[in-house]
A and B are shown apart, each in its own frame.
Chain A
Amino acid sequence: QQQVKQSPQSLIVQKGGISIINCAYENTAFDYFPWYQQFPGKGPALLIAIRPDVSEKKEGRFTISFNKSAKQFSLHIMDSQPGDSATYFCAARPRGSQGNLIFGKGTKLSVKP
């Protein structure tokens, strides 16, 4: 049973547009929600992360919005660029774990020039 559901599966955005990826979780015992960016043939790299006591976090063009009551969190990429084209994974860390993560299924983002 997947505990983190991610949508959409794929996304096409024009350069300069806003990319929005959504995730929902089913287990309340998570204490950390990171987003990872992965390019083909590479390991995932941390993009931005949020804890459940915060409703929004912004780092440059990347913003996480977190809705604890709805058990949802989303990634917004402002002014999307072709270089942002990659697969994005949301994840959740079980409380008390030592770093293992439960990943969403990923969203393949393509930013058209």
Chain B
Amino acid sequence: GAVVSQHPSRVICKSGTSVKIECRSLDFQATTMFWYRQFPKQSLMLMATSNEGSKATYEQGVEKDKFLINHASLTLSTLTVTSAHPEDSSFYICSAAPPTGDTEAFFGQGTRLTVV
């Protein structure tokens, strides 16, 4: 089946630094990818929709200047957490769905971000 790969799986960074997370669709072209955030023992909350070649669409309450999304190719979207703070520590997950037909969304394996 289709695979979405996310990297890194874990990252620890210092407060004030920026961290980039990559999400790749390995065997299909994804014009749209989605970024979710998951706090411990909670559900996935959609942060933004990443659109290839155009600006991302952010959900209400998500700071676009803190969470920079770039979708420069049909197989890669990146999420950059800028000027990270401890409260940004979370599990970030991307997903993508093949553009053809009515198919499921595939999720990456997630990135555990810890800001110290």
On A, residues with C-beta under 8 Å from B are: 32, 34, 36, 41-46, 49, 89, 93, 98-106, 108
- Answer yes or no: B95 CB below 8 A from chain A CBs: yes
Given A43-B109, A44-B93, A99-B96, verify A34-B43 contact (CB < 8 Å). Answer: no
Asked whether, in the complex, the Cβ of A99 is within 8 Å of the Cβ of B34, the reply is yes
Known: A42-B109, A44-B93, A99-B95. A34 touches B104 (CB 8 A): yes
CA of A32 to CA of B109, assembled, Å = 22
Judge whether B32 is part of the interface by a CB distance below 8 angstroms: yes
Of A41, A44, A105, which contacts B107 at CB under 8 A?
Answer: A44
Check A105–B97 contact: CB distance below 8 A.
no
> A45 near B107 (CB under 8 angstroms)?
yes
Nearest chain A CB to B20 CB, angstrom units? 18
User: Could you tell me the distance in whole angstroms from the C-beta of B97 to the nearest C-beta in chain A?
Assistant: 3
Chain A residues closer than 8 Å to B43, beta-carbon distance: 89, 103-106
Query: How many whole Å from A43's CB to the nearest CB in chain B?
Result: 4
User: Can you identify 15 A-B contacts, CB atoms within 8 angstroms?
Assistant: A34-B104, A41-B112, A42-B110, A43-B108, A44-B44, A44-B107, A49-B104, A98-B31, A98-B32, A98-B99, A99-B105, A100-B49, A101-B46, A101-B95, A106-B42
Point out which of A98, A99, A101 has the most chain B C-beta atoms below 10 A from its C-beta: A99
Decide if A32 touches B110 in the complex (CB within 8 Å): no
A89-B97 in contact (CB<8A): no
Within the complex, the shortest CB–CB distance from B71 to chain A, in Å, comes to: 12
Kindly supply a per-residue 1/0 record for chain B positions 92-116, scoring 1 wherever the CB is within 8 Å of any chain A CB and 0 otherwise.
0101110100101111111010000
